[in-house]
Structure 1
Amino acid sequence: MNKRAIIIATGVGAAAIFAGGAYLYSQSSTETAAAPVAAESSQFIRPHSPIMGPATAPVTIVEFFDPSCEACRAFYPTVKQIMATYPEDVRVVIRYTPFHPTSEEAIRILEAARKQDKFQRVKEWLLQNQEQWGADGNPQAARAWELAAEVGLDLDRARQDAVTEEVDAIIAQDVEDVQAVGITGTPTFFVNGKQLQSFGRQQLKDLVKSEVEAAR
């Protein structure tokens, strides 16, 4: 069983984890060695990038994230847990990586939700119900919109905000950066510029812990 399959199999109980407030993530990228990159490098953090956590946090997790990715869904509670453990020390930067058929539409929904200060709420609900809209064999973008409305998104306003030139530019820039950095699987994590080399939840926790301790 490959690594992605293992992550997905162990994430069967993800809905319960979401309800309990844990925070998971996952990935299918390779584990090739990579030199650390500058945490504020433009290819890793753009002014438009969604950021969760304190802007001045000494530890930055950059996640190349696809909202339709099952592995991203599985890893989401782990990242949330990390942020709860280090509320003043860690921030998470999201870079959009639209590798699946419904991914771009979901990204547009998230950007529209951000304008209504509902980004995190909509993101969590879409991930929790990902199988209803994001399956490659049966993509249902319309269902993603319905789910967003269930957690309070004003759809009339959101449908207008989702197709602006601003959102077009955000997606285009993130796709360009994904290609420039060489991202081939999601999620891919960088912690203070260091790519997670040995993929796994505990490995991510350990890398973040070491960076937090080094910053203190």
Structure 2
Amino acid sequence: MRKEKILNILLEEKIISIVRLKNGDLAPKVIDNLVKGGIKVLEITSNTPNFDIQITAARKKHPDILIGAGTVTTPELAQIAIKAGAQFLVTPNTNRAIVNETIKASIPVVMGAFTPTETANAISYGADIIKLFPAGQMGISYYKSLKAPFSGIKFFAVGGIDLDNTEAWLDAGIDGLGLGSSLVQSEINTTEELNDIIIKAQQFKKLTN
């Protein structure tokens, strides 16, 4: 899939589900339930055990779903994720070397930035989307202030996004949202918790349609 198409899907779907698990063996079932709930874009974080193996397996099982890698903090992790088949990368930090890896692989990067300087740097490096992180600490008013001088740039808000504030963020003009523990808890112990993922995914999808 071409980079432009991946970017279009990211922006059309507006949701990236963050799969960060203490038990990596649960990833296939979690991803199955996210898909059942209507999620079409997700990232498997690098601090999920065997994240690269899970990316490869998820790509094979769900060819119609965008599977990316998250918490990519170094170019070495970027290389591992790309080799595993990640279709996009998400970082918490601003790093030129990671952008360079995605340029070589012709895939998008959603690059973490918090300040105006970090945002400007990420843009100059070639980041495709700016991940405002952590978004919840400063909130929508901070996003609006940051967006003003970067009006042509696409922003996703990550950190502190839940069912209660999703509509407010979208109404404020955010281009997309990264959903972490509000959708998938890092520690899942029961079948009920797994099934809750389907219900929550459907609720988030309804808010973004």
TM-score (norm 2): 0.32
Q: Which has the higher strand share?
A: 2
TM-score (norm 1): 0.31
Q: Which has the higher contact order (CA 8 A, sep 6+)?
A: 1
